[in-house]
């Protein structure tokens, strides 16, 4: 079946439940406004089942109702993850049995970007979204260079550490700084390494487009919401499980 | 009284004595060192504020200049007040400007010059400590006037928009809805800045920068709320990271009421150099002790990395160490918001029973401390309905086990930063549970030799084993070596690595810090 609609308690009933807040004092008008909003969202009939004042200026609503929208699953467009998601245990086990050494990851923020929030979320043990950072993985050696690392510094440290992968985070996007910095970085690595020895290059940040990897000269672009587990799984996929296929 | 868990007083005494043995070499180590941040905090206590056109604080500029001329190991006080006594500048601010322009040379005074510099430094830094004392008396007065929260635990709520002017109405609204304590979460990454930003800030990442001006603005807003609501609303921030001594000083000067302040968090979770952390820790705790600030320790973090059942004893060990370091620095029992968290996998059988056992263990081990009870984060999946249920059980365990400070859990944990409605629903959850359970804790007495009593005693026994292992560690400073070996939270943090190491110096003979002298002279 390729046409679907929400399921409440009967096939095809189209029932959904939503909750939201309006910046209005609780009143008849506020409840009417909530119903109207629900209508405009395609909920018809819309049942405002709960309305509660939150302080003098806001009201919280719960609305149940039927939506008239249909979804054709054949026309759903998604970018599928092309590597399996592994648990930290599986990542450790895969590295240990295949490489017999720890995998080294060197990371940092290049250029004048001082926002380590992204790189720290991925690397620091504290992690992100309930997942521990790469430091937590026993078989990963993490070197976090922090903020404002120059490209030559990054390359030098990568050589010194015999890095398997480079993780670069870019938050600041003024005058496309994130794109320029990334291109400079990937060019420097291509220059410094023979093509078969080059570490895996990964860049991440909230304003990147996942499809730009080729243009930027990196192996992978990660976008907002990427978790450490996804990065670890990708590293394992590229450097352990699928090792021979590392692109030049 | 032996309490609900029937803990053996001999075993409890042993646990404390082991923590003391593990902690003492660290205190000795801390006494022998100073750090850039301790010295900058001293300048802040002496009243040096503000920043240059690049936003670099004058305390950084001045300290860097002093360090360039005479090094860090003698402390900042003698060279700075020697320069003032010599008439190089009329006050600290002008001296800092001249120093960063390179037009002052610092030296180590001797003889009568030294005596005069020492006296001048003691006077000016002492005035800063007196300001902290005055803020503490002011708090006592306001608490007396407006009153403490009617119920236990105190309800602790976080705001974090990044913009202090957005935080203020949110915090006031949260207080109206029942929050007793407001915490302004810091911007991600502030812990790794080696300076404290200046002024009111409107841009942060998942939090708002801790600055003196932001502290002042928020405290003033909550003073209004306290008056409006007839109860004193407390303000919390974070004395952690590379600048913890300075932040502690600013907190004292701006009458913050609670500070997150853990003895090992920065080492383990931020890869800050262990010696830097322990030195900064000790100074910041001395300031908190003086300022009448309640510290909140960070044991909850262990459970976000390690399994909450297997690693339950590491929480207890850390609480014991935090207690030792706190008392050594002059903090009293009522100031010890020792942390722990509701992080056991809810799919495990008896998970709630274990939570009760762990929470009760902390309660009975530290009967006079206002424990900080942290909500589930690790097993919050994005299923907000299930999360709401889990938070209710968290609230129930908090009231059943007499926790002092309850951090309100959000059903949208791990989904979004809390919406207005999330906070409202979360507070409804807390109010319902506290009201419905009432004084149920009076009736909640676990069966002697039952599951809860056994589990608690087991965790205590494991804690003693771990402390013994730490002490038996090779080397002079067992705990330092244990940290280097990855005993805590699985992280290896050697003493000669980590951030901020270049800001540490061994004190030279004749080292002077009037702030430390005053803070250690009490009692």
Residue B372: active-site member: yes
B491 pLDDT band, cuts 50/70/90, is low
Q: How confident is the model at residue B175 (pLDDT cuts 50, 70, 90)?
A: very high
The structure tokens listed for B138 are: 């002011």
Each residue's pLDDT tens digit, B113-164: 999 999 999 999 999 999 999 999 999 999 999 999 999 899 999 988 889 9
> Do B271 and A21 count as a contact with CB atoms less than 8 A apart?
no
pLDDT confidence band for A113 (50 / 70 / 90): low
Q: Which of A126, A129, A138 sits opposite B269 (nearest CB)?
A: A126
Residue A248: pLDDT band with limits 50, 70, 90: very low
CATH for the stretch A88-245: 3.40.50.280
Token readout for A39 is 């209508």
CA A196 to chain centre: 28
CA dist B374 and B336 (Å) reads 15
pLDDT(A158) > 90:
yes
How many cross-chain Cβ pairs, A to B, lie less than 8 Å apart? 65
Strand pairing class (A103-109; B336-337):
unpaired
Would you state the pLDDT for residue A78? Answer: 67
Q: Judge whether residue B58 has pLDDT over 60.
A: yes
Q: Which of B209, B232, B265, B388 is catalytic?
A: B265
Q: What is the DSSP string of B272-304?
A: B-HHHHHHHHHHHHHHHHHHTPEEE--THHHHH
* A169 interfacial to chain B (CB closer than 8 Å): no
Lowest mean pLDDT, pick from A172-176, B211-215, B422-426:
A172-176
Mean pLDDT along residues B170-186: 93
In this predicted structure, the answer to whether residue B419 has a pLDDT above a threshold of 70 is yes
Pick the CATH number of B1-31+307-488 from 3.40.50.720, 3.30.565.10, 3.20.20.440, 3.90.1300.10: 3.20.20.440
Q: CA of B32 to nearest chain A CA: how many angstroms apart?
A: 29
The whole-number pLDDT of residue A244 equals 56
| Rounded mean pLDDT, B496-512 | 95
Q: Is the minimum CB–CB distance between B419 and chain A shorter than 8 Å?
A: yes
pLDDT in tens, B281-294: 999 999 999 999 99
B497 contact A CB<8A? no
| Chain A residue whose CA is closest to B428 | A54
Enter the tokens of residue A171: 């938050």
- Give the mean model confidence (pLDDT) for residues A137-160: 90
Contact B263, B225 (CB under 8 A): no
At A247 the pLDDT is 46
Contacting residues of B for A19, CB less than 8 Å apart? 421
- Write out the H or E segment, with its range, that includes residue B463: helix B451-472
pLDDT over threshold 60, residue B174: yes
Distance between CA atoms of B182 and B79, rounded to whole angstroms?
40
Region B436-462: mean pLDDT is 96
Closest to B270 measured CA to CA, from A163, A130, A225, A144:
A144
**CB-count burial class (<10 Å; 0-12, 13-18, 19+) for A92:** buried
**Domain boundaries defined on chain A:** 3-73, 88-245
Length of chain A: 248
* Residue B274 · residue B480 · CB < 8 Å: yes
Closest CA to B303 of B351, B254, B240: B351
Please report the pLDDT score of residue B519 as a whole number. 96
What architecture is the A3-73 domain classified under in CATH? 2-Layer Sandwich (3.30)
Cis upstream peptide for B153 (omega within 30°):
yes
ipTM value for the complex: 0.82
DSSP line for B403-445: -SEEEPP-TTTTTSSPPHHHHHHHHHHHHHHHHHHTTHHHH--
Q: pTM for this structure?
A: 0.84
* CB A45 within 8 Å of CB A66: yes
* Domains in chain B: boundaries: 1-31+307-488, 33-126
């Amino acid at each position: 079946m390729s046409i679907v609609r929400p399921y409440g308690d009967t096939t095809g009933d189209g029932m959904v439940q939503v909750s939201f807040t309006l910046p209005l004092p609780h009143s008849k008008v506020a409840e009417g406004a909530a119903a109207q909003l629900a209508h405009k969202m395609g909920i018809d009939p819309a049942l405002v089942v709960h309305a509660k004042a939150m302080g003098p200026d806001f009201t919280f609503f719960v609305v149940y109702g039927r939506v008239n929208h249909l979804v054709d699953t054949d026309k759903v467009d998604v970018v599928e993850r092309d590597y399996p998601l592994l648990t930290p245990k599986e990542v450790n086990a895969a590295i240990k049995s295949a490489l017999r050494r720890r995998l080294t990851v060197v990371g940092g923020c290049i250029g004048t970007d001082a926002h380590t929030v992204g790189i720290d979320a991925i690397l620091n043990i504290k992690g992100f979204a309930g997942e521990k950072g790469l430091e937590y993985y026993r078989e990963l050696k993490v070197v976090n260079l922090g903020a404002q690392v120059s490209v030559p510094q990054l390359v030098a440290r990568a050589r010194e550490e015999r890095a398997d992968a480079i993780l670069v985070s870019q938050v600041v996007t003024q005058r496309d700084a994130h794109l320029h910095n990334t291109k400079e970085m990937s060019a420097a690595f291509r220059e410094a390494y023979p093509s078969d020895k080059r570490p895996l290059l990964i860049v991440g940040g909230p304003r990147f487009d996942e499809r730009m990897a080729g243009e930027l000269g990196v192996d992978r672009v990660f976008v907002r919401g990427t978790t450490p587990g996804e990065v670890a799984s990708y590293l394992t996929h590229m450097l352990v499980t699928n090792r021979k296929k590392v692109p030049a | 009284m032996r309490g609900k868990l029937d803990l053996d007083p001999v075993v409890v005494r042993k646990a404390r004595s082991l923590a003391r043995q593990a902690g003492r070499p660290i205190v000795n180590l801390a006494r022998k060192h100073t750090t850039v941040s301790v010295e900058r905090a001293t300048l802040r206590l002496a009243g040096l504020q503000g920043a240059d056109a690049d936003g670099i604080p004058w305390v950084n500029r001045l300290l860097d200049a002093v360090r360039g001329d005479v090094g860090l190991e003698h402390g900042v006080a003698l060279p700075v007040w020697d320069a003032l006594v010599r008439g190089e500048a009329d006050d600290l601010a002008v001296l800092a400007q001249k120093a960063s322009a390179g037009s002052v040379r610092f030296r180590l005074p001797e003889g009568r010059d030294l005596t005069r510099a020492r006296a001048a430094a003691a006077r000016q830094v002492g005035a800063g400590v007196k300001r902290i004392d005055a803020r503490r008396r002011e708090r006592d007065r306001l608490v007396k006037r407006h009153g403490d929260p009617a119920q236990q635990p105190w309800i602790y709520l976080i705001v974090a928009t990044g913009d202090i002017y957005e935080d203020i109405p949110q915090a006031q609204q949260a207080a109206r809805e029942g929050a007793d304590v407001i915490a302004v979460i810091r911007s991600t990454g502030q812990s790794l800045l080696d300076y404290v930003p200046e002024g009111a800030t409107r841009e942060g990442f998942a939090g708002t920068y801790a600055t003196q001006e932001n502290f002042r603005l928020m405290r003033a807003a909550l003073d209004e709320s306290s008056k409006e609501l007839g109860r004193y609303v407390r303000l919390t921030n974070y004395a952690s990271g590379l600048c913890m001594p300075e932040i502690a000083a600013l907190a004292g000067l701006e009458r913050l009421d609670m500070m997150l302040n853990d003895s090992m968090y920065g080492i383990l979770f931020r890869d800050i150099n262990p010696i830097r952390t322990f030195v900064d820790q000790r100074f910041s705790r001395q300031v908190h002790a003086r300022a009448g600030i309640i510290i909140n320790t960070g044991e909850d973090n262990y459970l976000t990395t390690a399994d909450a059942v297997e690693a339950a004893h590491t929480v207890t060990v850390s609480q014991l160490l935090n207690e030792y370091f706190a008392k050594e620095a002059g903090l009293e029992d009522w100031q010890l918001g020792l942390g722990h968290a509701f992080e056991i996998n809810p799919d495990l059988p008896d998970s709630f029973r274990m939570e009760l056992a762990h929470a009760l263990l902390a309660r009975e081990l530290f009967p006079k401390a206002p424990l900080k009870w942290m909500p589930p984060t690790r097993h919050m999946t994005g299923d907000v309905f299930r999360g709401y249920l889990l938070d209710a059980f968290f609230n129930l365990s908090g009231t059943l086990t007499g926790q002092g400070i309850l951090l309100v859990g959000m059903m949208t944990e791990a989904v979004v930063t809390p919406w207005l409605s999330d906070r409202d629903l979360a507070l409804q959850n807390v109010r319902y549970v506290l009201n419905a359970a009432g004084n149920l804790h009076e009736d909640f007495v676990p069966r002697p030799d039952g599951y809860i009593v056994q589990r608690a005693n087991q965790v205590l026994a494991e804690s003693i084993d771990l402390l013994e292992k730490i002490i038996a560690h090779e080397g002079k400073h067992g705990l330092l070596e244990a940290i280097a070996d990855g005993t805590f939270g699985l992280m290896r943090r050697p003493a000669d690595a980590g951030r901020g190491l270049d800001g540490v110096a061994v004190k030279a003979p004749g080292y002077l810090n009037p702030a430390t002298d005053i803070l250690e002279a009490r009692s």
